């Protein structure tokens, strides 16, 4: 048997970060088993599904590198096949026509509410003679759900879960206008796609029992189910917009690398011993459903930032330059010159040591293009005394070579000559060169900028 899994988002908005994790788990398990990972767009809600949302889903999955092994399937295009199965169930007595009016259904809901019970259909037309149907009413097709005994699903994450069959009412398979419902469409598509395992959020666990009955009614093999806990925010509540960014695209815009995002999502609810830094190759080798916990994972932004910083330090410098270049150009409102790009590339080793996002990296890289307006802390270092120290240093810099070791020696020598601490000279010099009180190695920055640019920046500060 070839293992086949699918990710099936609804294109009604962006790709939620929890959905991205679900896609990742399906992808990794399929690859771990040497199987196939598929993508299905569940666009049957025509009012809410949009082409923009479809594009956003594709964009986010491509960014994360979670690519399907076959062309994506669009559920709405298969509506006739779904209706065909509904009529098959009707023909073998596992479904029936229901002629209830909206008023009758509302009465059932009101009666259930009065008894503090969940709303449900009471089976009015389950065994009723269709010849007694009222004229002019287009019926829906309902599934004739078993009412005796119980059903136990051996969930790969939740363990055995049992529901009494009489707790499941007869769900609608085909609406009066002939359109299929979600519950039917999902089962038919999963069967036709040859899906062997279904990994999805545990908010779908109750759906699994209804879907299981459709599978058995059709004589189809039932996939293995694995319902994973949802992601919660730091406060323990379900992750939502009030916790911050919730879409995969937002994290891309915030400056996170896809490999860091995948590593972080992998560890949200799944573990392999004490391993935290896990490559995709290792994830594929190690991923097993047994490693998924039953408790909701909590999203920790600080941990994600630290993990992203790790991957930034590992990333290729040219790749990072290409990522931050448009961010810098947007901020300075012009294109970066070839020489400026070269300087940023030369300084990347020092720049990426402190950055935790590419946004931070871009902001810090601007020192190789221009000095930013001094912040309050940097401005405080430009005292008359410190400006005087820079004036004493300037002629010595004008006379020396601009290499790291020479610059350091000149700075130390000047500090000794004027009987001041090295920091009293280095601090205002850093502000003059970078516009900041904190930066990569000062001597590295100066040697990359070159003698003329460095001297110009110092002279600009002195002359103010």
Eight-class DSSP state of 107: H
Q: Taking the C-alpha atoms of 375, 376, 378 and 382 in order, what is their torsion angle to the nearest 10 degrees?
A: 130
Residue tagged 């908005």 (tokens): 13
201: left (phi over 0), alpha (psi -120 to 50) or beta: beta
List Cβ neighbours of 329 (8 Å cut-off, separation of 6 or more): 335, 336
CA distance 20 to 260: 13
Relative to beta strand 73-74, strand 36-41 is: parallel
Which DSSP helix (H) or strand (E) runs through 352?
A: none
Known active-site residue 330: no
List Cβ neighbours of 367 (8 Å cut-off, separation of 6 or more): 347, 433, 434, 435, 436, 439, 445
Joined tokens for residue 103: 């008023």
Nearest to 142 by CA among 217, 252, 247: 217
Q: Residue 244 in 3-state DSSP?
A: coil
Q: Are 143 and 169 in contact (CB under 8 A)?
A: no
CA distance 67 to 386: 57
Pick the catalytic residue: 31, 241, 252, 356?
Answer: 241
List Cβ neighbours of 200 (8 Å cut-off, separation of 6 or more): 8, 22, 226, 227, 228
Residue 137 CA to its chain's centroid (Å): 46
Relative to beta strand 36-41, strand 140-143 is: unpaired
Joined tokens for residue 329: 């150009």
Nearest to 348 by CA among 386, 320, 314: 320
- Which residues, listed in sequence order, are joined to residue 225 by a DSSP beta bridge? 198
Catalytic residues: 241
């Amino acid at each position: 048997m070839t293992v086949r899994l699918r990710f099936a988002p609804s294109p009604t908005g962006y790709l939620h970060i929890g959905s991205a994790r679900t896609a990742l788990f399906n992808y990794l398990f399929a690859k771990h088993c040497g199987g196939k990972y598929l993508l299905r767009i569940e666009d049957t809600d025509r009012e809410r599904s949009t082409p923009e949302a479809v594009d956003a889903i594709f964009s986010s999955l491509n960014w994360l590198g979670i690519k399907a092994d076959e062309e994506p399937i669009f559920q709405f295009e298969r509506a006739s096949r779904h209706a065909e199965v509904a009529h098959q169930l009707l023909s073998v007595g596992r479904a029936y026509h229901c002629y209830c009016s909206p008023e009758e259904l509302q009465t059932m809901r009101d009666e259930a509410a009065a008894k503090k019970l969940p709303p449900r259909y009471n089976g009015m037309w389950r065994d009723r003679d269709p010849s007694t149907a009222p004229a002019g009413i287009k019926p829906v097709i309902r599934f004739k759900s078993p009412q005796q005994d119980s059903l136990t699903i051996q969930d790969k994450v939740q363990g055995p879960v049992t529901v009494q069959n009489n707790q499941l009412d007869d769900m609608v398979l085909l609406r009066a206008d002939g359109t299929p419902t979600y519950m039917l469409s999902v089962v038919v598509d999963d069967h036709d796609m040859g899906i062997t395992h279904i990994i999805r959020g545990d908010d779908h666990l109750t759906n699994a029992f209804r879907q299981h009955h459709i599978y058995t009614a059709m004589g189809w093999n039932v996939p293995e189910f694995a319902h994973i806990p949802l992601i919660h925010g730091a406060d323990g509540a379900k992750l939502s917009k009030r916790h911050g960014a919730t879409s995969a695209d937002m994290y891309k815009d915030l400056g996170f690398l896809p490999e860091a995002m995948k590593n972080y999502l992998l560890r949200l609810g799944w573990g392999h011993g004490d391993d935290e830094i896990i490559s995709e190759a290792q994830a594929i080798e190690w991923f097993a459903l047994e490693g998924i916990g039953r408790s909701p994972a909590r999203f920790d932004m600080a941990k994600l930032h630290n993990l992203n910083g790790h991957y930034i330090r590992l990333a290729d410098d040219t790749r990072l330059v290409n990522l931050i270049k448009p961010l810098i150009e947007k901020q300075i409102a012009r294109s970066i010159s070839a020489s400026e790009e070269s300087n940023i590339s030369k300084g990347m080793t020092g720049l990426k040591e402190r950055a935790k996002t590419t946004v931070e990296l871009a902001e810090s890289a601007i020192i190789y293009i221009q000095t930013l307006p001094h912040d309050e802390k940097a401005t405080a270092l430009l005292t008359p005394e410190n400006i005087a120290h820079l004036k004493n240093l300037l002629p010595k810099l004008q006379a020396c070579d601009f290499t790291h070791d020479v610059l350091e020696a000149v700075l130390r020598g000047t500090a000794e000559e004027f009987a001041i601490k090295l920091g009293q000279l280095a601090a205002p010099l850093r502000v003059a060169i970078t516009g900041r009180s904190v930066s990569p190695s000062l001597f590295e920055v100066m040697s990359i900028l070159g003698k003329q640019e460095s001297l110009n920046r110092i002279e600009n500060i002195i002359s103010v």
